[in-house]
Chain A
Amino acid sequence: GENVEQHPSTLSVQEGDSAVIKCTYSDSASNYFPWYKQELGKGPQLIIDIRSNVGEKKDQRIAVTLNKTAKHFSLHITETQPEDSAVYFCAASLTDSWGKLQFGAGTQVVVTP
C-alpha cells in the first residue's frame, strides 16, 4: 500500500519568512495529493491540493509542487503570519479510490512574531 513520509516534524519560522514542508510517497500510481491544516482542537481542513497532471499550483501565499519522477511533493508558505501556526498534513491517494487518503505524520509549524 501507499506510504507517505513527511519532513520536518516541527518547523519554527520568523513571521514574514517562508516555510517549506516536504513529502515523499511510495506508490507511483498515486495521483491526488492534498494538504490539510489542523488547528488545535479542530479537524483537518483542506488548504490546497494537486493532481498528477500538474507540476505546480498556487493560491495566494500557498503553493504546492509535485515531482512525479522523484515521487515527492512540497508545500510552500510565503510571508508567514502567526495565524499560519498549526499542524500541516500531506496526503496521497488514487483518484479512483481517493477516499483512501494516506496521511503523512504531520508538521508542527510555529510562526514567531
Chain B
Amino acid sequence: DAGVIQSPRHEVTEMGQEVTLRCKPISGHDYLFWYRQTMMRGLELLIYFNNNVPIDDSGMPEDRFSAKMPNASFSTLKIQPSEPRDSAVYFCASSLLGENTEAFFGQGTRLTVV
C-alpha cells in the first residue's frame, strides 16, 4: 500500500477563497483523522471518522471548517471562507481499531492563506 495519500502537498490561496484538502486513507483502515499543525498550537485533532461516520468534531475551530467522508477511501476537509490564521500544515491519518494499532499519517498539506 502507498500509505495515506494527501493532496495537494502545497496550497496557496487568497483570503476569502474556498479551500479543499483531500485524503485517501490506507485501504481497509476504519478510522480517519484530520490534524492541524502550527508552531503556536502544535498538533491538534480536528475531527475523526469511524467507518465513514464523524465521531468527534469538537476540534473543528469554526463553522468555516467542514469535513466529509463519502466513502471508505476518500475524505475532504473544506475551509470556506479561508483566513490567514488558517495557514498551517494539515495532516490526515488512518488506522485500524485494535490492541496494537497505530495511526499512519500522510505527508500533509501545507496551506498558506494570503
Interface residues of B in 1-58 (CB under 8 A from A): 4, 31, 33, 42-45, 48, 50, 55-56
CA distance A4 to B19 in the complex (A): 31
Q: Is A44 an interface residue (CB 8 A)?
A: yes
Q: Is B107 an interface residue (CB 8 A)?
A: yes
Contact between B102 and A103 (Cβ–Cβ < 8 Å)? no
Contact between B102 and A43 (Cβ–Cβ < 8 Å)? no
Q: Is A71 an interface residue (CB 8 A)?
A: no
Contact between A104 and B42 (Cβ–Cβ < 8 Å)? yes
Interface flags, A80-113, vs B, CB<8A=1, else 0? 0000000001000000011111011110000000
Q: How many residues of A contact B (CB 8 A)?
A: 19
Contact between B107 and A43 (Cβ–Cβ < 8 Å)? yes
Of A34, A42, A99, the residue contacting B45 (CB under 8 A) is A99
Q: Is B103 an interface residue (CB 8 A)?
A: yes
Contact between A44 and B48 (Cβ–Cβ < 8 Å)? no
Give chain B's interface secondary structure class. strand
Interface residues of A in 2-58 (CB under 8 A from B): 34, 36, 41-46, 49
Of A97, A101, A105, the residue contacting B103 (CB under 8 A) is A101
Contact between A34 and B43 (Cβ–Cβ < 8 Å)? no
21 contacts between A and B (CB under 8 A): A34-B102, A36-B105, A43-B91, A43-B93, A43-B108, A46-B104, A89-B42, A89-B43, A97-B56, A99-B33, A99-B45, A99-B48, A99-B56, A100-B48, A100-B56, A103-B43, A103-B44, A104-B42, A105-B42, A106-B42, A106-B43
In the A-B complex, the 7 residue pairs with the smallest Cβ-Cβ separation, listed nearest first, are: A43-B105, A103-B43, A46-B102, A99-B48, A105-B42, A44-B105, A43-B91
Q: A34-B103, A99-B55, A103-B42 are in contact. List 12 more A-B contacts (CB 8 A).
A: A41-B107, A44-B91, A46-B102, A49-B102, A99-B45, A99-B95, A99-B103, A100-B56, A103-B43, A103-B44, A105-B42, A106-B43
